[in-house]
Structure formats: C-alpha cells, structure tokens
Structure 1
Amino acid sequence: MLENNKITEQTLTGTTFTNWLKLLYENRFKISLRYFPRALFISVITLLTSPFVLYEKLRYAKRIRRTVFKQQPIFIVGHWRSGTTFLHSLMIQDKQFGYVTNVHAFMPNIFLCSGKLFQGLLRRFLPAKRRMDNIRLGLHEPQEDEYALANLTNYSLYHGIAFPKNIRFYARYCSMEGLPRKIVKKWTRVFLNFLKKVTYEAGGKQLILKNPAHTYRIGLLLKLFPEAKFIHIYRNPFDVFPSTLRMYEKMFPYFFLQKPFSMKEGKEIIFDLYEEMFQRFFMEKQLIPKGNLIEIKYETFIQNPLQGLEQIYSGLNLQGFEKVKDHFQHYVAAQKNYQRNVHTLDKELEQEIATRWKFTLERLGYKKLKRLDNRIERKNIRKHLRGRKEPCEE
C-alpha cells in the first residue's frame, strides 16, 4: 500500500473535538510517528471549530427538531465503484431533490452557520479531484452521507481508513447487526438529525442519498423510513474488485493515521466486505415494499443513461422526468471527455473472484470471467455515445 505525506486533506476535521478524543482513546492513541502532523492538524481544527459547533446547536436546535420529511428519502445503494456517484450526480440535476454535499459531509456540525469562512478553508483543503478517478470535488458536489456519520459518531466503517489496524472492528458498523441497543439508538438519532439539517437547508425537498454502506443496512433504514425508495446499481464483479483496490491504493493513503495494511490484507478486506454486503442485501431487499426498489445494471445504464433514468422514474413512480430530460441530456454530454480507468487482473486473482463471489455472479446474471468480453462491451458503449468517452465508474 502506497503512503502519502499530505497533512491537510483529512476527512475527520469535520468531527467534534470530543468525538476526536473518543476515537483516539478507542484506538489507544496509537498514531504512527510519520502521521502525527495529521493528528495534530485534526486536533487544532476541531478545537477551533468547537465554539461554532455549540453556536449552531443553540441557534438551530428547535428549527431542526421541527423539520419533517414531507417525502421519505430515495437511497442509491450498491458496492463502491459500481456507478453510484455517476447515478447520483445525474439524478440531482432534477432540482426537486435535495442531497448531501461535500460541505454537509465534511462540516456536518457547522454547515448551517459556517458561512464563507469555513467553506473557504474547506475549499483549500479539499482536492480539486478525487484521487482514484479524477471526478470533480467542488464544495457543492454530491457526497456520501457516510462521511458525515463518521464525523458525527464513532460508528462508521470509514474510521477504519484512518485507523487501518482496526478496520475490521469498524466494519461492524456497516450493518449495525448485533451491536448494543444504545449504539444503534444513538446512530439512528444522529442520522435522522443530520438528514433533518440537510432537509431544512434544502427547503424541505425530498432527499436523494448515495451511500454504499447503506447497502448493508436496508432493514434498519426501512425501520426509519418504511416508504423509502431504493435504487440498487450493480456492476461486473471482475471490474468492481480492481477498481475498489485502486481506490484503496490512490485514496486511502491520504487519510492514514497508522501504518497501513498490506496489499494482501487489503485484498482480503475487499473480498470480505463485498461478501457480507451482498449476503445481507439479497436477504433484506425482500423487506422493501413492492414498487419501491429498482435494480439497474451499470453496464446497461452507461450505454443509455437517459433510458435508464426513465426506467427509474417509471419504476419508482417519480414525477417530472420529461420536464428535466434536457438537463439530464446536458449533464451526460458534459461527461464526454471523462475517461474510465482500465484495470487488469492476473489469472490467479481472477479465479479467486470467480470462486469467492460465485453467488453474486450467478445472482446478478454475470458469467464467470466475463471480463474477457470487455472489448466488445466497450466498443458497443462507444458506438452508442458516438465517440464520447465513458461516464464515470462510481
């Protein structure tokens, strides 16, 4: 696993000083010496923002408490590197929806009162593009709400990025299964409060949320939002694995606070997290009321995004597709210069994927070693896009 000495690009700068101390205690204050400047930077920022955290609570508590969800959220779920970001970015072109931005995700405690000061700082700390795929990272671009949850609680898989020695400990917060009731209750309270804050700022709009970690917790989400709608986007596992591994290699090193896990360990983590995700999803998706779930294949979706969106709107009974069709078309056209990463697999790893993820390959309708047909698939995609390069893969 590659390492990086960048100090300021830390997602945990949006947490509270108290929560930061709890994380340090939970990890026995074990920070690698080379990453000590990162930990110090997080400590300083969280201390400086502490008065603003208190101010926002005092000023907005009643308003947030009174905020109601006029319509229950739409959740985009699916494994990392499966097209969730592209789908999310496309759907928010419909202005009837509210969504979580980078400001919300990385400043969840102070985004209502942050003003230009802290947003300006975030702009300086935030890279212009994502490390693993060069997708733009503007302040108001859509982001996963899991980053906000990681800044608001200790209960997130994403803490395992900063503290890789305990990544399997933090993985239990994906499904929340078997955890003490008080932890699940606190997570639920914090999650709902955060969504109310985003809804309040969005003027009461229906939220469309993207979070791969939610794929593990369909049952829990349905307890909170019985009529929520779900869009599951899935992708060829032989492409998902190397793309996820690239994310580990290109993005994670910027956030490590401890010695990173080895490449071998990283591969095993990918295998295990994927297997648990789909075992749970295949079991819990049966709980979703009829008409509230639509599943789309990434490879089909990128060939004709507009047709895919029309199917989503129709399948979930969402209104207004024809009114925003031109906006969707404009966004798709704007992605014409995006070039998707090309990944390779050695035969041994390819065979291991075919064996360990056999249940998913069969359930999702992929043939073993289908990557051999990628040349034909790419040719068809390019033909449809009339020479434009392929949309983003996450």
Structure 2
Amino acid sequence: MKTLIGITPSKLIKLLYENKFRIGIKHLPKLLPLIFLSVRNSIYAVKEKKKYGSVLNNISIDKPPIFILGHWRSGTSYFKRLLSLDKQFAYPTVFQIYNPSTFLYTEPVLRARLEKIPKKKRPMDNMEVGFDDPGEEEFAVSVLSLRSQLLGWVFPANGTYYDRYLTFKDVTQKEIDEWKKATIYFLKKVLFINGKRQLLLKSPQNTGKIKVPLELFPDAKFIHIHRHPFDIFRSTYKLHKETVANFYLQSANNLDLTQSILNRYKIMYDAFFEDRKLLSEKQYIDIGFGQLQKNPVQTIANIYEQLELNGFDAYKPHLSAYLQGIKNYKKNTYQELDKNLQNRIYEAWQQSFAEWNYEV
C-alpha cells in the first residue's frame, strides 16, 4: 500500500479498474485508508495547483540529469546517498516521492512535525532513512502515470503486465508519453524547490529503459553500478519477503518468487546491454559495488573525470566526512545459496557473470 499513498481518486479508480477490482480478502482493510488518503491528496492537489500551477509552467530542466542505474540491491541507494552530498545536485526526497501531487503545498506546512520524526532503518539493509533523504522518483511517477513496474508490487497477480514497463518495448506510444509527462511534471516540481541545480536521479526501473529517459534528455549522463549476482539475488529475495510483501493488495500464493526475480533481472539486463550502446563515453560509466566499497573517494573521482562533472574538490571534504561517520556500519549477512539455486542464477544471468568477471 505504501507505494500508493500519493495517489489521487481518479488514478486509484483507473488502477483498480485495470486490475478488475480484484483485491484479496485479507487485504481489503488496506483499501479504506487508501481511499481516504486519495481524497485528501486530491484536495491538497487542487490547492497546490491553484497556488503553483502557473509558476511550474515556466520551469525548465536546463542541465542534463544524472541517472544512477542498477538492479535492486546493487548498492544504488548507498551510491546516491554519497553523490547527494555534492550540493550542486538536486534530488527528490522521500517525502516528495510519496506525495508527488501535493508536496509543494504540504511539505512547508508539515516540515516542523516531520523533523521530529526519528529516522527508520530499512529492513533490507539497516540503512537509516528520513523524510528529507534521497528517494526514488519512480515511486512518484508510478502513481502519476500508472505506467510503472512498481505497481506489480501492489498487484502481484498482474505482475507480468507491469513488468512490460521495465523496458517499455512492448507498450503503446500513449503509455510512453504518459510516463514522460509524469516524469517531467514531477521533476519540474523538484527543481522549483531546488533552483537550477543538476538533477540526480535513481530508480532501478530505469536500468532496462535507457532509451526512454534518453529521448527526454539526449545529453543525460548514466552511472551503472553492478554487484555479484548471488548477492543481488539474496538481498532482493529478502527485500520482497520483508518489504514488498507489505505492499500487496492481492494474494501472491501462486507467485514463484525465485523465478520472478530471475525473470525480471534478465528482462532488465537484456535491454540494458543493448541500450547502453546508445551512450557515449562522456555519458556513461560502469562501476562495481565492491570497487565503491573499497575505495569510494577514488572511484567517485574517476566518475567525475570521465563524465566531465565539475566540483569534485569542493565536494570531497563532505564525502570524506560522511564516510568517516558510517565506518562502523554493518551490512546484513546471508546464508550461502544452495548449489542448485546458484546454478539457476548462473544459467539465467550468465551474461552478467561474464561481463563483470564474477566467479560462480
């Protein structure tokens, strides 16, 4: 349900209609508060549009955004947290991605109250997250456009339908345009708050659809982060069991989670390996999570150099101070995968093993 807390009534009705109003009986109690939230969102959205609508029409996205790519649990959130310390970048916050239709109006009103709320640890990685921390723009775009793989986390019985939006290869032009329109609308609102800074964006869903944001921003820059496939699988499985399952409005009893993760990764990376050919050396760089962990300062310095980003010297002290502050952070530990599962992962994802020289 958390994925939908920023939705408005018209979008909610359309979404339920697309899913033939099939809500699991045990999930029905989630629907009433969702309806209430959608009505409240609609009221605030009207107020926001009245106050800011004409101003937003004059906002332009002049600097090419930077997109962080990578499968879930590849280290994209950690990496974005590091880059977000550079004050030349603007990024959507957690509050903004969950309130995409209303945050210009509601955030100033609620800020004092929000600042009193302690940060919570994410169950999948123990990372502390607060309302003002970097968020994934896809959460906002998903409820604004209804054209996102994220909605498959709410309607798992219809997951295959929403997986089309991992690549946008088997969708209509209308669906592509709806995603683009929602993206531009949301990013303009982010820039209204942040001025003319360069946008720093991160959503795993963009990994398989480079072509689509590239059509919006031909000069955009892309940073891809990869990690050992076994680690990705283990952590993604935990993500679904401990977090995504709480979003369901349908039963997932018939869902083969292991196969679903394997399929989704392959869909995403088949498209990624093809589409990254569209990018020049000054637009794209690939880094490993292990590399980032071992030598984060030098790794990021190399990124700035290759992508021709200015300001590293001013940013470096902030980066070093943050890294010093989290030096005692402990990652989750996982049991070894059984041999049969390792073989399944290798068979499905062998291109990634070969591309980045990961051992089986």
What's the TM-score once normalised by structure 2's chain length? 0.95
Q: Secondary structure at the match of 1:295?
A: strand
Tell whether 2:275 aligns with 1:275. no
Counterpart of 2:166, as a letter, is C
- Note the residue ranges of structure 1 that are not aligned, 5 or more in a row: 1-8, 370-394
d(CA) in 2 for partners of 1:121, 1:81: 31
Spell out, residue by residue over 1:362-387, the C-alpha distance to the aligned partner (whole angstroms, 9 max, x if none). 012212x2xxxxxxxxxxxxxxxxxx
Tell whether 2:123 aligns with 1:131. yes
CA drift at 1:227: 0.5
Tell whether 2:132 aligns with 1:140. yes
Partner of 1:387: none
Partner of 2:185: 193
Tell whether 2:276 aligns with 1:285. yes
Superposed counterparts of 1:201-212, under 5 Å: 201-212=193-204
d(CA) in 2 for partners of 1:337, 1:42: 39
Partner of 1:301: 292
Partner of 1:80: 72
CA drift at 1:289: 2.4
Aligned partners of 1:77 and 1:211 also within 8 Å: yes
Identity of aligned residues (%): 35
d(CA) in 2 for partners of 1:31, 1:127: 32
Aligned partners of 2:230 and 2:345 also within 8 Å: yes
d(CA) in 2 for partners of 1:214, 1:239: 21
With over 3 angstroms needed to count, the CA separation of the structure-2 counterparts of 1:29 and 1:118, relative to structure 1, is farther
Aligned partners of 2:229 and 2:345 also within 8 Å: yes
Tell whether 2:315 aligns with 1:324. yes
Q: Secondary structure at the match of 1:230?
A: strand
d(CA) in 1 for partners of 2:44, 2:339: 54
Of the three residues 332, 338, 346, the one matched with 2:338 is 346
d(CA) in 2 for partners of 1:330, 1:279: 38
d(CA) in 2 for partners of 1:155, 1:48: 23
CA drift at 1:261: 4.2
Counterpart of 1:319, as a letter, is N
Aligned partners of 2:7 and 2:41 also within 8 Å: no
Superposed counterparts of 1:1-394, under 5 Å: 10-117=2-109, 128-261=120-253, 265-343=256-334, 344-367=336-359, 369=360
CA drift at 1:136: 1.4
d(CA) in 1 for partners of 2:89, 2:74: 22
CA drift at 1:51: 1.5
With over 3 angstroms needed to count, the CA separation of the structure-2 counterparts of 1:65 and 1:238, relative to structure 1, is same
CA drift at 1:49: 2.3
Aligned partners of 1:24 and 1:30 also within 8 Å: yes
d(CA) in 2 for partners of 1:304, 1:288: 26
Q: Secondary structure at the match of 2:223?
A: strand
Counterpart of 2:353, as a letter, is L
Q: Secondary structure at the match of 1:178?
A: coil
CA RMSD of aligned residues (A): 1.9
CA drift at 1:337: 2.6
Counterpart of 1:58, as a letter, is K
What's the TM-score once normalised by structure 1's chain length? 0.87
- Note the residue ranges of structure 2 that are not aligned, 5 or more in a row: none
CA drift at 1:50: 1.3
Aligned partners of 1:102 and 1:143 also within 8 Å: yes
Q: Secondary structure at the match of 2:128?
A: coil
Structure 1 residues 117-126 or 197-206, which shifts more? 117-126
Q: Secondary structure at the match of 2:129?
A: coil
Aligned partners of 2:167 and 2:267 also within 8 Å: no
Runs of 4+ in 1 over 3 A off after TM superposition: 115-127
Q: Secondary structure at the match of 2:22?
A: coil
CA drift at 1:100: 1.1
CA drift at 1:325: 0.8
CA drift at 1:253: 2.1
Spell out, residue by residue over 1:98-140, the C-alpha distance to the aligned partner (whole angstroms, 9 max, x if none). 0011111000000101135556787899972212112112001
Number of equivalent positions: 359
Q: Secondary structure at the match of 1:172?
A: helix
CA drift at 1:158: 0.9
Spell out, residue by residue over 1:16-75, the C-alpha distance to the aligned partner (whole angstroms, 9 max, x if none). 111111111111111112211211111011112211111212322222121112211000
Structure 1 residues 49-58 or 283-292, which shifts more? 49-58
d(CA) in 2 for partners of 1:39, 1:185: 29
d(CA) in 2 for partners of 1:181, 1:123: 42
Counterpart of 1:59, as a letter, is K
